[in-house]
Structure 1
């Protein structure tokens, strides 16, 4: 997972400020490195996959809300994804 590429793609697709994109790219990299998505859902977590999943969130969601919406759905399906949430009050 290339964090810089993800930050560029997040900016293009959803905007948000640099600090938010950086926080989400760190969490996405940690999630990819954990191998959880590959193990639980049988696909590689790529930049395109992250952007595609975040695009599924409701249109009125901020970037942080989109990320947490998606990670929350992973957590509901398999559990253990809470640690990848981004706290909106710290970005």
Structure 2
């Protein structure tokens, strides 16, 4: 998976440049680990990530959407929680 492309698409789609880089990095790590490929019989793509993040509740920010999807993956297959991100990622302290 192209992490830079995913970061760009996430930033544009969800208007959250602060979290896009972190989510893209975690998605890339998840893709590199091969578990998604093994569990679902196909490569993790930018399109797959974006489609699944669109399924999250509308009021969720990007990091929350990512964690929501990972929660579902972890519940159904296990081993995905390690790719979650802090919900406050991208916010200024």
> Where on the TM-score scale, by shorter chain, does this alignment land: which range?
over 0.9
Shift of 1:89: 3.6
Q: CA RMSD in A?
A: 1.1
Aligned residue pair count: 90
Partner of 1:7: 7
Q: Contact between 2:63 and 2:89, CA under 8 Å: does it hold in 1?
A: no
SS in 2 for 1:66: helix
Structure (1/2) with the larger helix percentage: 1
Q: Supply the distance in 2 between the matched residues of 1:20 and 1:12 (Cα, whole angstroms).
A: 12
CA distance in 2, matches of 1:56, 1:74: 13
Are residue 61 (structure 1) and residue 28 (structure 2) matched? Answer: no
Deviations 1:58-79 (A, max 9, x none): 1110000000000110000011
Gaps of 5+ in 2: none
Unaligned runs of 5+ in 1: none
State the TM-score, normalized to the length of structure 2: 0.90
Other-structure match for 1:32: 31
